[in-house]
Amino acid sequence: MLKKRIIPCLDITEGRVVKGINFINIRDAGDPVEWAQKYDRDGADELVFLDITATSDNRDILIEVVEKVSDEIFIPFTVGGGIRGVGDMQNILKAGADKVSINTSAVKTPDLIRAGAADYGSQCIVVAVDVKREQEGFRVYVRGGRDKTDIDAIAWCCRAEELGAGELLVTSMDRDGTKNGYDLELLKEITSRVNIPVIASGGCGTLEHLYEAVVEGGASAVLAASIYHYGEFTIPETKEYLRGRGVPVRLQLFQKKDQRPS
């Protein structure tokens, strides 16, 4: 079995890390560079940076913040928010990101997935999918969760894979920030239909939730914010817990260079 990845998420607005509940009630959580440094030191497998108001504010992502973060970390770094074309992807990758995450622009122009994969490789293209339960089923939302579409989320994930996405970042809007656990039904519906990695997002409150997402939900990686930002758990604790329950994870076997004793 491939090792499961633990991915802290930095939701950014106006250059600051924030966290909300159900995509609203946003509160400040600190400086993105300081958080990135901490998660890199702690042994996170990757880092996700999402400028959550870039699309809704109709502005470009904060490239200077991306550059500052990328200068300070050594783990893979995914960046999303306000990406409208291949040129934006190029700018973000040049700023130091390893992958780009697209959401609204992918829904509006699905061929952007294909174009990005052709230019930079599928491994660089993460399609983020914000999902909410409706009477008619799971539906895709865009513009930072502000606008509902009539697109079935499961079908859209399959289509994104066909177009060349290398990974899916699936966020349950119903669970976001609630700490009630990931939407396992949603995850199982998607992971049973696609062959690319799925990152579970939205709802983590305990280490058990992380275990459920990868074992029951079939996720390849788990994304979390609140439990790490507010000191409830650490990355090393998470990995030891999962390893103890038989989940393969990457363990940090040595200290970072700047932490080694002289």
Partners of 6 in beta bridges: 222
**CA 27 from centroid of its chain's CA atoms:** 19
- Per DSSP (E only), the strands in 143-240 are 147-152, 167-172, 198-201, 221-224
Whether 176 sits among the annotated catalytic residues: the reply is: no
Look at residues 67, 108, 100 and name the one whose alpha carbon lies nearest to residue 81.
100
Task: Give dist(CA 219, CA 197) in Å, integer.
Answer: 7
The catalytic position among 11, 51, 176, 183 is 11
Whether 60 sits among the annotated catalytic residues: the reply is: no
Q: Are 224 and 210 in contact (CB under 8 A)?
A: yes
Task: Give dist(CA 240, CA 65) in Å, integer.
Answer: 32
The catalytic position among 40, 45, 130, 176 is 130
- For 86, 114, 245, the CA distances from 101, given in Å and listed in that order, are 12, 13, 31
Map tokens 């060349």 to a residue: 164
Q: Are 80 and 49 in contact (CB under 8 A)?
A: yes
Q: What are 211's two structure tokens? A: 């275990």
Structure letter (DSSP) for residue 31? -
What positions carry a catalytic annotation?
11, 130
